Amino acid sequence: FQLVRTLEPWNLISVFMLGTLIAIVKLQELATVVPGLSLAALSLLLVVYAMARSQFDSETLWQRIEKVKALDTAVTSIRSDDKILHCHLCDGLQTKGHSCNRCGAAIHHRIEGSIEQTWALLFSAVLMLIPANLFPVMTFKKLGKGAPDTILSGIIYLIEGGLWGLGLIVLFASIIVPIAKLLSLSYLLYSVQKNSNWKPKDRALLYRVTEVIGSWSMVDVFLVGLLSGLVSLGLLANVTPGIGASFFGAAVILTMLAAHQFDPRLIWDRSHHNSAVAL
């Protein structure tokens, strides 16, 4: 269970599917592309996984496990000075201990050094994004002719080719999402450091949205990987990955790690402090 929940944020099947569709569109200028059985299987896998994930109830699972093992991890009484510890993997609650009574994962009242480590990861991501947008992500040559493509030039190519939908999707995933994620996490860190009490519910929602959409920026990395593997026809056609793709992939991973390292419980600390003072 720990392994599944830990790897879940890195499950990028839907992002890979989008990269596959964009790769098919770009390949159509070379040859007739006929979808095969594997594409249908991948689509079915995506649908089945989404349905299974939506129906999975971890609380019911743990209730059955506790019943079989005769365990009782429920918190039935809380003193006014108790600090509730929440397990981020199984959602178990307890008042003391350094490991979860349910799944055994390490738990803590707050992530130590969360603010400093998140700032460091964000700053590193910014440093990676600069060369990622300046250097080419791939070079597409047809009959010996071609030019390196940056992220922005690839978007322009899709739009000029009449593929507005795909162009806007890549624009959103590769440019808007990374910038929005950097800005939103920076704002959350700043508000926490300033002990802001402004709309904690909205800031918590902003964090959850930021955490969810960040992985979609990997679509460009998957696209370059797919085209580099599929298009290797010598002088007829060839796709070579560029250094920009490596920088961009590193930036996306760093922003995902930053979102994971940020402790959203810090958002509520000031609100709880004010409530305690009022009482």
Q: Torsion-angle region of residue 120: left (phi > 0), alpha (psi -120 to 50) or beta?
A: alpha
- Within a domain: residue 70? no
- Within a domain: residue 89? no
Q: Torsion-angle region of residue 39: left (phi > 0), alpha (psi -120 to 50) or beta?
A: alpha
CATH number of 131's domain: 1.20.140
Total structural domains within the chain: 1
Q: What is the pLDDT of residue 101?
A: 75
Q: What is the pLDDT of residue 82?
A: 55
Backbone angles phi, psi at 141, to 5 degrees: -115, 135
- Within a domain: residue 203? yes
Q: What is the pLDDT of residue 278?
A: 38
Question: Which residues span the domain enclosing 227?
Answer: 113-278
Q: What is the pLDDT of residue 9?
A: 76
Q: What is the pLDDT of residue 200?
A: 82
Q: What is the pLDDT of residue 181?
A: 92
Residue 30 contacts residue 231 (beta carbons within 8 Å): yes
Helices (H), 138-242: 151-160, 164-171, 177-193, 200-213, 219-230
Contacts of 80 (CB under 8 A, 6+ apart): none
Q: What is the pLDDT of residue 118?
A: 92
Q: What is the pLDDT of residue 215?
A: 81
Pairing type for strands 145-149 and 138-142 reads antiparallel
| Distance, CA of 167 to CA of 269 (rounded, Å) | 42
Q: Which residues of the chain have pLDDT under 50?
A: 81, 275-279
- Within a domain: residue 75? no
